[in-house]
Amino acid sequence: MSTEQRTAVVIGTGTIGLGWISLFLGQGLRVRVCSRRPDARRVVAEAIELHAPFLPPGSADPADLAARLEFEPDVRRAVEGADVVQENVPEQLELKQELFGRIGEAAAPETLLLSSTSTLLPDAIGARMGDSARLVVGHPFNPPHVVPLVEVVGGERTHPEAVAEAVAFYRSVGKVPIVLRKPIHAFVANRLQSALLQESVHLVREGVVTLSELDAVVTNSIGLRWATVGPFHAFHLGGGQGGLRHWLSSLGANLEAGWRGLGRPPMDEETLELLLEQADKAFGGSSYEELVRARDRRQTAVLGALAEVEAAEA
Amino acid sequence: MSTEQRTAVVIGTGTIGLGWISLFLGQGLRVRVCSRRPDARRVVAEAIELHAPFLPPGSADPADLAARLEFEPDVRRAVEGADVVQENVPEQLELKQELFGRIGEAAAPETLLLSSTSTLLPDAIGARMGDSARLVVGHPFNPPHVVPLVEVVGGERTHPEAVAEAVAFYRSVGKVPIVLRKPIHAFVANRLQSALLQESVHLVREGVVTLSELDAVVTNSIGLRWATVGPFHAFHLGGGQGGLRHWLSSLGANLEAGWRGLGRPPMDEETLELLLEQADKAFGGSSYEELVRARDRRQTAVLGALAEVEAAEA
């Protein structure tokens, strides 16, 4: 399928659905939005306006993007003739099962069916389909129009060809798809994030740092580091000439002890209120839109800088 | 003390000491290196050559840097007349205690004494000093000449004024110091890193992803994210208009369950060999120096891009 002719159906207009809409439009696809929200046209227009400056490969004109946009609230009609469907409804198994049941009846057999689910697996989501061989999880990271990663997960009933097509599709729209070799609850990135959050909550609860100080620690150390090299790569370099072997053998014995010493905070009412009180101080002065623009300016700038380094090295 | 006149003594010429030497020289300080290595001059010259292209505020000429460099292997003579001492000897309590005992006898009372220790506390390190009121932990992140964070930790015997001076000193050389409000083992960033590493080892052991795939997941998602906004800030935006309150209330109940489901891998011989085998495949084709340059080009590019965004917003 050539870029010009492809039609992507985006189902759901929450934060993730809106990001996909902007990204697919920015990449030259026709986008058919399937949403039951009565204000879907307004919400999508506002999102495109907000995202357009930060779309790869560069800032886009919202009017150009909107020219390739259609709306069709009926799911069966929406998926007719689609090349790709990206589903983004709330994270409820029954809701997704029922939806994919209807999609399976109406979509052409060659349509690639993708779900943004962050916790459910294809076999479960596709339980009410006659054939879920074309259903693949493509879990993006917020915001999907900026962050490159898509975690790709097939089920036992998914055809390997569909997984390969999902990878090719996401690459064609500038994403970095990583296929999980085994299904696992919450996939990879959110599990890593959860591990870091647990310790973050512990450190704020213990009064070692405030929520804002913790954020500053991360952006000024491991965030910068992990934007450029992953954790294993970083530790390989931390070991100097001896690499990861030296790093693990000099610190390895202490690693397990360190893991045992990590916090196991409760997420109780008191903890929640402490975090929210500190969050209000940290972010209360800015609107959601202002904060999103500030984040996306930075993320886009970082991606641009890294792409320049890659190009210079090539 | 004005920048031109300051003399920093750097004790130890491992990876961290070498980074401080390059950074301080790049910031215009006179640097006196105190090292027992017979090849200290060569090692320092090589490090300066390697680091010079990536020093803030911009690429530096190694010859200009070396012009402000001295060597004095005797600790007592090295610290005479110093404004600041940054200690970077191996992480052994007795070694550091003995060293600071001698430093305390020889240094002028106004000299600021800083330790790069990643696990020890000032009161312990300064146990053999007559007065450790000027001793502060200033724990950098590798590589110290690039990564902005310095974790600053005072002890019960540390004078608050010395902590404030440490903060001012690190800011004056372009670092981002964060003062811990309470001492805690391994401080903040390494605890967070340890939490993420534990889950990373779990996921590779379970065969969900390879070591390289895990690194790619991180650089393309949470690394990019956390280079620009910290974890709490990111979750605040993940909650949309409702912010952190919405995010925690919609996912909060599942947070603790998610934490309980995280891996607790052993760091046994089998795990070690699996990681090292995958690390060889991932990094074996490049020398340490090539990998360091590639990392530092990227980290410097990211910092430059973020500084440009800050400047444009100001």
Tell me the per-residue pLDDT of A270-279, one tens digit each, with 9 for 90 and over: 999 999 999 9
One-letter amino acid for residue A303 of the chain: L
DSSP 8-state secondary structure symbol assigned to residue B119: S
Per-residue pLDDT reduced to its tens digit, A1-55: 444 579 999 999 998 999 999 999 999 999 999 999 999 999 999 999 999 999 9
| Angstroms from B305 CA to nearest CA on chain A | 6
Q: Check B295 against A214: CB less than 8 A apart.
A: no
Q: Is the CA virtual torsion A125, A129, A132, A135 positive or negative?
A: negative
A 293-312 near B (Cβ less than 8 A): 294-295, 297-299, 301-306, 308-309
Q: Which residue has the tokens 């109406």?
A: A106
Cβ-based contacts of B237 with chain A (< 8 Å): 142, 288, 291-292, 295
Residue given tokens 């990211």 in the structure block? B302
Cα gap B232→A279, rounded to integer Å? 8
Contact B267 A244 (CB under 8 A): no
B199 closest CB neighbour out of A147, A195, A200: A195
- Would you say B37 and B11 are in contact if contact means Cβ atoms under 8 Å apart? no
Element (H, E) at B162: helix B160-172
Dist CA A309 CA B301 (whole Å): 7
Domains of chain A: 3-179 (3.40.50.720), 189-283 (1.10.1040.10)
Instruction: Say whether B182 and A149 touch across the interface (CB within 8 A).
Output: no
Any CB–CB contact under 8 A between B236 and chain A?
Answer: yes
As a residue count, chain A comes to 314
What is the C-alpha to C-alpha distance for residues A7 and A49, in angstroms, rounded to an integer?
21
B139 DSSP β-pair partners? B151
The answer to whether residue A244 neighbours chain B at the CB level (below 8 Å) is yes
The Cα–Cα gap between A192 and A195 comes to 5
How many separate helices (H) and strands (E) can be counted in chain A? 14, 8
Q: Report CB contact under 8 Å: A302, B298.
A: no
- pLDDT of amino acid A156: 96
Shortest distance, CA B77 to any CA of chain A (angstroms): 30
Per-residue model confidence (pLDDT) at position B253:
67
Contact A148, A174 (CB under 8 A): yes
How far apart (Å, rounded) are the C-alpha atoms in residues A82 and A306?
Answer: 34
ipTM of the shown complex: 0.96
**CB–CB of A27/A7 below 8 Å?**
no
Rounded to whole angstroms, the Cα distance separating B117 from B263 reads 29
Residue A253's pLDDT band (cuts 50, 70, 90) = low
Do the beta carbons of residue B8 and residue B83 sit within 8 Å?
A: yes
The sheet carrying A69-71 orders its strands as: A69-71, A30-34, A7-11, A84-87, A112-115, A135-140, A149-153, A176-179
Angle at A185 between CA A180 and CA A189, to 5 degrees: 60
Instruction: pLDDT tens for chain B, 314 residues: list them.
Output: 444 579 999 999 998 999 999 999 999 999 999 999 999 999 999 999 999 999 977 778 999 999 999 999 999 999 999 999 999 999 999 999 999 999 999 999 999 999 999 999 999 999 999 999 999 999 999 999 999 999 999 999 999 999 999 999 999 999 999 999 999 999 999 999 999 999 999 999 999 999 999 999 999 999 999 999 999 999 999 888 889 998 888 776 688 999 999 999 999 999 999 999 999 999 999 999 999 999 999 999 999 999 999 999 98
pTM of the model: 0.95
Grouping H, G, I as helix, E, B as strand and the rest as coil, residue B176 is strand
Residues of B with Cβ-Cβ distance to A228 under 8 angstroms = 219, 223, 295, 298-299, 302
Judge whether residue A266 has pLDDT over 60: yes
What pLDDT shows up at residue A117? 97
Looking at the partner chain, which of A220, A223, A244 has a beta carbon nearest the beta carbon of B276? A244
3-class state of residue A128 by DSSP: coil
Q: Which DSSP state fits A148? A: -
For residue A196, what are its two tokens?
A: 């870091």
Chain B touched by A281 (CB under 8 Å): no
Report pLDDT for B58: 75
Q: Could you give the CA distance from residue B285 to residue A240 in angstroms, rounded to a whole number?
A: 15
| A108: closest CA of chain B, how far (Å) | 32
Do B229 and A298 make contact, defined as CB atoms within 8 angstroms?
A: yes
Cβ neighbors of A270 (< 8 A, separation 6 or more) are none
Task: Give chain A positions within 8 Å (CB) of B217.
Answer: 149, 151, 178, 188-189, 192, 230
Is residue A162 within 8 Å of A154, Cβ to Cβ?
yes
CB B78 within 8 A of CB B50: no
> In which region does residue A186 sit, left (phi positive, over 0), alpha (psi from -120 to 50) or beta (all else)?
left
Q: Which residues are within 8 A (CB) of B304 and not within 5 positions of it... i.e. 6 or more apart?
A: A305
- The angle formed by the CA atoms of residues B10, B172 and A279, to the nearest 5 degrees, is 115
CA distance B94 to A159: 61
Instruction: Please give, rounded to a whole number of angstroms, the shortest distance from the CA of B221 to a CA of chain A.
Output: 6
Residue pair A274/A204 in contact by the 8 Å Cβ criterion: yes
Please name the residues between 83 and 122 in chain A that touch chain B, using a CB distance below 8 Å. Answer: none
CB–CB contacts below 8 A, A to B: 353
Take residue B114 and report the two structure tokens written for it.
């800083």
User: Mean pLDDT over all residues of chain A?
Assistant: 94
Give which of B37, B50, B190, B192 to mutate to test A binding, by max A Cβ within 10 Å. B192
Percent of chain A that is helix, strand, coil (3-state, to 5) = 55, 10, 30
Query: Does B81 lie at the interface with A, CB-CB under 8 angstroms?
Result: no
Q: Please give, rounded to a whole number of angstroms, the shortest distance from the CA of B248 to a CA of chain A.
A: 8
- The reply to whether residue B221 touches residue A261, judged by beta carbons under 8 angstroms, is no
Contacts of B177 in chain A (CB under 8 A): none
Contacts of A88 in chain B (CB under 8 A): none
Residue A274 contacts B where some CB pair is shorter than 8 Å: no
B160 by Cβ neighbours in 10 Å (0-12 / 13-18 / 19+) ranks as exposed
Chain A residues in contact with B233 (beta carbon < 8 A): 215, 282-283, 291, 295
Kind plus residue range of the DSSP H or E element containing B11: strand B7-11
Nearest CA in chain B to A284: B243
DSSP string, A259-271: HHTS------HHH
Sheet with B112-115, strands from edge to edge, namely B69-71, B30-34, B7-11, B84-87, B112-115, B135-140, B149-153, B176-179
Report the residue of chain B nearest A215, measured CA to CA: B230
Identify which of A216, A214, A193 has the alpha carbon closest to the alpha carbon of residue A275.
Answer: A214
CB contact under 8 A, B147 and A309: no
Do B217 and A264 lie within an 8 Å CB cutoff? Answer: no
Q: Residue A107 and residue A94: Cα distance in Å, rounded?
A: 20
Predicted confidence at residue B3, as pLDDT, reads 47
Contacts of A259 in chain B (CB under 8 A): 194-195, 198, 264
CA proximity to A126, closest of A89, A91, A99: A99
Q: Which residues of A touch B206 (CB under 8 A)?
A: 182, 184
Nearest residue of chain B to residue A203 (CA atoms)? B188
pLDDT of residue B4: 54
Nearest-Å Rg of the Cα atoms of chain B is 21
So what's the pLDDT on residue A250? 74
Contacts of A189 in chain B (CB under 8 A): 217-218, 221-222
The contacts of residue A176 (CB under 8 Å, 6+ apart) are: A148, A149, A150, A170, B216, B220
Helices (H), B173-219: 189-205, 211-218
Are the C-beta atoms of A155 and A123 separated by less than 8 Å? Answer: yes
Task: Please state, in angstroms and rounded to a whole number, the distance separating the CA atoms of residues A33 and A10.
Answer: 5
Does any CB of chain A come closer than 8 Å to the CB of residue B255? yes
Confidence grade of residue A252 (pLDDT, cut at 50, 70, 90): low
| Interchain contact A282–B (C-beta under 8 A) | yes
**pLDDT tens sequence across A197-234:** 999 999 999 999 999 999 999 999 999 999 999 999 99
Q: Which residues contact B36 (CB under 8 A, 6 or more apart)?
A: B73
Instruction: List chain B residues with CB under 8 Å of A302.
Output: 224, 227-228, 302, 305-306
Q: With contacts defined as CB-CB under 8 Å, which chain A residues touch B256?
A: 266-267
